[in-house]
Amino acid sequence: MKTKLLALMLLAGSCMFGGTRVFVGVGVGPAYGYYLPPPPPPPPAAAYVAPCPGPGYAWVSGYWYPVGPRYHWRAGYWAPRPFVGAVWVGPRYHGHRYYRGYWRR
């Protein structure tokens, strides 16, 4: 009798932690995503570029990146390659969408 009562209490107690989960998604507009206006043209190129800090670094050219509804300029810089043979693919704007830069083989 005690084991049946213990099993019943265990089952009843575990039901307290099982809650229902309901998710509702609402889409507005013709497609999913945040559309930005095109970024402004890059500013005139700088005359001075710092020398490479050492082997294994790659130059990342300056680019515009979105912050909220505006773009901010990120000046060029030297970045360590995350793996041997890595090539930086700069960010781009295509089809009313902004695609971030990334490293590829």
Q: pLDDT tens digits, residue range 51-80?
A: 899 999 999 988 998 888 888 999 889 999
Within 10 angstroms of residue 74's Cβ, the number of other Cβ atoms is 14
Paired tokens of 17: 């932690």
Tokens 């294994």 belong to residue: 56
Q: What is the pLDDT of residues 10-39, one digit of tens each?
A: 777 766 666 667 767 665 544 444 567 888
Q: How high is the mean pLDDT of the chain?
A: 81
Tens of pLDDT, residue by residue over 42-54, are: 888 766 788 899 9
Using CA atoms, how far residue 73 sits from 17, 56, 62, 66, in Å, is 49, 25, 7, 9
Q: How far apart are CA 19 and CA 97, in angstroms?
A: 39
Predicted confidence at residue 75, as pLDDT, reads 87
Q: Write down the domain spans for the chain.
A: 52-105
